Amino acid sequence: MKITETRLRQALSYDPSTGNFTWIAPPKRMPNLLGLVAGGKTDFGYIRIKIDGRDYPAHHLAWLYMTGEWPMMDIDHRDTIRSNNRWNNLRQASASQNAANRRRPSSNTSGHKGVTWHRQCKRWQVCLRVGGVNYYLGLYDTPGAAKAAYDAKQTELAGEFARAS
């Protein structure tokens, strides 16, 4: 069973301006945590906090703390920094909206999201996926033109969640 807002507020204090949780009632076996920032960073960059033997993502706890309810959707970090749990950086998002706000993958060689080199045509190809639908935007002579096409379509489809390539 998930932690309740009441239990969360008994154990931790949340500062919306910093995004940090601090222990106000640490686990009995670790009284030295009193007043310290709670949680640790995962290999993926998220902050996780263990309360009553169960691990929780800090951004989900922040949502519970501020709204009194567990999020019904994903929680998106506006700035894409997974450890930045400031209240003004968090928003509910569908999986598709959350994906639209991702940064360019490190494996990308064009320097732009959705832009790849088409070997046979020797031109830059643009594709994106939003809401489970694939969009093919064509071939372009320059990476800049391809980027512009991607950014325009991404903004049209994803709105405020669109992250430029």
86 and 63 both lie in a single domain: yes
**DSSP string spanning 129-144?**
EETTEEEEEEEESSHH
CA distance 135 to 150: 10
- Asked whether residue 58 is domain-assigned, the answer is yes
27 to 11, 38, 50: CA distances (angstroms): 8, 11, 10
Here the tokens at position 163 are: 């992250």
pLDDT the model gives residue 74: 94
Is the separation of the CB atoms in 103 and 111 below 8 Å? no
Look at residues 70, 93, 116 and tell me which one is the last residue of a structural domain.
93
- Asked whether residue 71 is domain-assigned, the answer is yes
42 and 83 both lie in a single domain: yes
What is the pTM assigned to this prediction? 0.80
43 and 68 both lie in a single domain: yes
- Asked whether residue 98 is domain-assigned, the answer is no
Is the separation of the CB atoms in 36 and 22 below 8 Å? yes
CA distance 159 to 157: 6
pLDDT the model gives residue 60: 98
pLDDT the model gives residue 57: 98
Residue with tokens 């007043």: 35
- Range of 30's domain? 5-93
How close are the terminal C-alpha atoms of the chain, in Å?
A: 40
pLDDT the model gives residue 130: 83
CA distance 108 to 67: 38
Query: In the chain, which stretches have pLDDT less than 50?
Result: none
Three-class secondary structure of residue 114 per DSSP: coil
Other Cβ atoms closer than 10 A to 23: 21
Is the separation of the CB atoms in 102 and 83 below 8 Å? no
- The secondary element (H helix, E strand) that includes residue 160 is none
pLDDT the model gives residue 165: 62
